[in-house]
Amino acid sequence: MMVLAVRVGAIMAREIERKYLVENDAWRREAPPGVPIVQGYLSADPDRSVRIRIAGDDAFVTIKGKAQGSARDEYEYPIPKDDAAEILENLCLKPPIEKTRYIVRRGDLKWEIDEFAGENRGLVMAEVETAKPSAEIEKPAWLGKDVTADPRYANVRLARHPFSQWERT
């Protein structure tokens, strides 16, 4: 049984998401302008992470538990943007994750497409949240390989092992 608590200003839930590589730019025809995101990690422990994120004019601290398949606990709280900028600059692991997030809606699904910049330039991933891990989803033609279970593609991992440093064949 899952128990949800409600607190003012907080979003707390069990996150169930799948991640895919994006194979081509066809999604751009469906996407409105993106939102620039900069995020860094205060904790990059495999069992939990603490992230600071500035997304456009908003800022958040997010605490995530260890992933169990495509699900994990997540708690997110808004914080002042100036505080987030100072924490990113002075306390977070380097380099920060830089990306632009685009939203593509398909039926009941909201695809979040992240086009990475900085040390992770060249990586484009799409994420979709579902109500349950086994949910069937209609996959757009621009989706590539499912990387949900590949820890290299977790943002927390990309902060320590950027895509630009990977050996690719």
- Please identify which of the residues 41, 75, 102, 153 carries the catalytic annotation: 41
Rounded Cα distance between 96 and 39, Å, is 6
Rounded CA gap, 99 and 117, in Å? 5
Separation CA 28–CA 115 (nearest Å): 11
Element (H, E) at 36: strand 35-43
Cα dist. 117→31, 75, 108 in Å? 18, 26, 29
Q: Is 102 a catalytic residue?
A: no
> Which positions are annotated as active-site residues?
41
